[in-house]
Amino acid sequence: MLTNRQLFLQHLGQTSDSPLMIEIERAEGVYMYGPTGEKYLDLVSGVSVSNTGHHHPRVVEAVKRQVDLYMHLMVYGEIIQSPQVRYAERLAGIFPGELETCFFVNSGSEAVEGAMKLAKRFTGRSRIVSFKKSYHGSTHGALSIQGSEQLRNPFRPLLPDTFQVSFNDEESLFTIDERTACVVAEPIMAEAGVICPINDFLKKLRHRCTETGALLIFDEIQTGFGRTGFMFAMNRYNVVPDILVLAKALGGGMPLGAFISSNRIMSALMKNPALGHITTFGGHPVCCAAGLASLNVIIEDNLTVRCNEKSDLFRQQLRHPLIREIRGEGLLLAVDLANSDLVRYIIANSPKYGLILDYFLFCADAFRIAPPLIITRDEILWACGQLKMLLDDASKNLIEK
Ligand code: PLP
């Protein structure tokens, strides 16, 4: 009989020739467990998904309760489903400005697609501006605006009339004009290696969009739900977009995406013609129930505020000659080693040290630290101890050789 490892390679489509290849049987809190007693501390959260940790009892209970009532009923937007309306109402209560109407979809990429379509319909324009080294998803539209020519090029032709400009560069703002339907921006650029805005760049971007009538879309798929020490990065920088895009932690561990706007803008998808975005499983009731339970945990357990103390502890503890810089906000951190071979070694060997680590798509010199927000002080101390041993090991094996 083939092992799961062999079956994984034979029967599952692969995304690279170097998958992490560890097998997980169960996950709880900040830990993942292998079939023969391996235990790993998760420093990635499935890429900013498991903000309330794995198998949170309140999330699991909400899922079970909803499964017992109903699962899929009908395509999105026809039947009043309590988990959807309750979650949308709760979200509207925590968003600033006019962000009150939520269009639920399945994933981050689909939410980005929906947001771009909405902006085109609302403005009657076609041009889309985004930023170099941004990541917005892998579907054709989202791929067209993400900021890596290397990832984009093999799939041409893509969406026309898209422009990628430099983040934090005021000159870029002049690309935005009366032909621009929207600007899509991550308020903190995650896959670029956690690049934060400087010199009020987001405020200036907001101003230029307002001036030209272009809609500002914030992709908070990675930065949302307390990850950066604020509920959303837009709260940190006091800038409100016209459309907000969410996924990942939105579903509390279940697949869910959403684009959110004012009722006035959102109504552009419902007429002339109707059905501006159709999605069968968007806003799946089990996913909405899980997401609402997870959001309640984040708020009631004050995970957002405590995230900053935990971030400081990582920064204090992670001192090592191989570390050039630790960047980021809250528990979205990039540990920069200024050397991509070292980063590859650290990530490949992290399971041996009981840790799960991951790369950034567009920053080969750094690895990611983004644990569940429930991580405790003792768990951080232990993880940093392991990481320093792993860095020593890398020093011996790569640098001194
Ligand atoms: N936007 C950002 C900032 C992301 O990090 C991702 C996924 O990593 C996406 C969009 C795409 O989300 P999904 O993988 O759910 O399609």
Contact predicate 277/243, CB 8 Å: no
Considering the segment(s) 57-300 as one domain, its CATH architecture is 3-Layer(aba) Sandwich (3.40)
Q: Is residue 401 scored above 80 in pLDDT? A: no
Residue 137 Cβ inside 6 Å of ligand 1? The answer reads yes
Q: In three state form, how does the secondary structure of 154-215 look? A: HHCCCCCCEEEECCCCHHHHHHCCCCEEEEEECCCECCCCCECCCCCHHHHHHHHHHHHCCE
pLDDT range class, residue 400, cuts 50, 70, 90: confident
Residue 18's pLDDT is: 87
Q: How far is the CA of 141 from the centre of ligand 1 (A)?
A: 13
Measured CA to CA, the distance from residue 208 to residue 357 in angstroms comes to: 38
Question: pLDDT for 133-147, tens place per residue?
Answer: 999 999 999 999 999
Tell me: the pLDDT tens digits for 349-391?
999 999 999 999 999 999 999 999 999 999 999 999 999 999 9
CB 370 within 8 A of CB 45: yes
- Residues 287-311, buried b or exposed e (16+ Cβ, 10 A)? bbbbbbbbbbbbeeeebbebbeebb
As a whole number, mean pLDDT of residues 119-143 equals 98
All residues at 6 or more sequence positions from 146 whose CB lies less than 8 Å from its CB, including other chains: 130, 134, 135, 136, 137, 152
> If you take atom 1 of ligand 1, which residue's CA is the nearest one?
136
3-class secondary-structure state, position 246: strand
The DSSP result for 305-339, as a single string, is: HHHHHHHHHHHHH---TT--EEEEETTEEEEE-S-
**Residue to probe by mutation, ligand 1, list 44, 47, 49, 221, most atoms within 8 Å of CB:** 221
H/E segment holding residue 280? none
Compute the distance between CA of residue 320 and CA of residue 335 in angstroms, rounded to an integer. Answer: 11
Question: What is the whole-number distance in angstroms between the Cα of residue 109 and the centre of ligand 1?
Answer: 6
135 C-beta closer than 6 A to ligand 1: yes
In what order do the strands lie in the sheet containing 127-131?
A: 101-105, 257-261, 243-246, 215-219, 180-185, 127-131, 162-165
Find out whether the beta carbon of 379 lies less than 6 Å from any atom of ligand 1: no
pLDDT of residue 399: 76
Q: pLDDT tens-digit profile of 6-35?
A: 999 999 999 998 898 999 999 999 999 999
The residues near 29 (Cβ < 8 Å, ≥ 6 apart) are 53, 54, 55, 372, 374
CA of 385 to the centre of ligand 1 (A): 31
Ligand 1 atom with the shortest distance to the CA of 248: 15
- pLDDT (tens digit, 9 = 90+) per residue, 220-261? 999 999 999 999 999 999 999 999 999 999 999 999 999 999
pLDDT above 90 as % of the chain? 97
- Nearest-CA neighbor of 175 among 116, 144, 222, 131? 131
- Which residue CA neighbors atom 10 of ligand 1 most closely? 136
Computed over every residue of the chain, the mean pLDDT equals: 97
Q: Among the atoms of ligand 1, which is closest to the Cα of residue 247?
A: 15
Indicate whether residue 108 lines ligand 1 (CB < 6 A): yes
Q: Is 215 in the pocket of ligand 1 (CB under 6 A)?
A: no
- State the pLDDT at residue 44: 98
- Higher pLDDT among residues 62 and 399, named by residue: 62
DSSP class per residue in 35-80: TTS-EEEESSHHHHT-TT-BT-HHHHHHHHHHHHH-S--SSTTSS-
Amino acid present at 267: S
Instruction: Quote the ligand 1 centre to 247 CA distance (angstroms).
Output: 7
pLDDT of residue 398: 83
In terms of C-beta distances under 8 Å and separation of at least 24 residues, what long-range contacts does 68-71 make, across chains too? Answer: 69/285, 70/285, 71/284, 71/285, 71/286
Looking at the predicted structure, is the pLDDT value of residue 62 above 80? yes
Q: Whose CA is nearest to atom 7 of ligand 1?
A: 137
Task: Work out which ligand 1 atom sits closest to the CA atom of 134.
Answer: 3
Query: How do the domains of the chain map onto residue ranges?
Result: 20-49+302-399, 57-300
User: Band of the pLDDT at 82, cuts 50, 70, 90?
Assistant: very high
Residue where the block lists tokens 């990675």:
222
136 C-alpha vs ligand 1 centroid, how far in Å? 5
Distance between CA atoms of 199 and 236, rounded to whole angstroms? 14
CA of 221 to the centre of ligand 1 (A): 6
The residue written with tokens 């379509």 in the block is: 117
**Entry pTM:** 0.97
Give the whole-angstrom CA distance, residue 86 versus residue 300. Answer: 17
Rounded to an integer, what distance in angstroms lies between the CA atom of residue 185 and that of residue 119? 14
Residue nearest to atom 8 of ligand 1 (CA): 137
| Sheet with 355-356: strands ordered across | 26-28, 31-33, 39-42, 355-356
Please tell me if the CB atom of residue 106 comes closer than 6 angstroms to any atom of ligand 1.
Answer: no
Q: Looking at the chain, how many residues does it have?
A: 401
> Ligand 1 pocket: which of 106, 138, 222 to mutate (most atoms <8 Å of CB)?
222
Tell me if 307 CB under 6 Å of ligand 1: no
Q: Compute, in angstroms, the gap from residue 111 CA to the centroid of ligand 1.
A: 9
Quick one: pLDDT at residue 58?
98
| pLDDT at 363 (0 to 100) | 98
State the residue for tokens 């579907």: 139
What is the mean predicted confidence (pLDDT) over 188-205?
98
Helix (H) or strand (E) holding 33: strand 31-33
Q: Give exposure, 175-194, as e/b (b: 16+ Cβ within 10 Å).
A: ebeeebbbbbbbbbbbbbbb
Q: In the CATH hierarchy, which fold is given to the domain comprising 20-49+302-399?
A: Aspartate Aminotransferase, domain 1 (3.90.1150)
| C-alpha 321 – ligand 1 centre gap (Å) | 33
User: What whole-number percentage of the chain has pLDDT above 70?
Assistant: 100
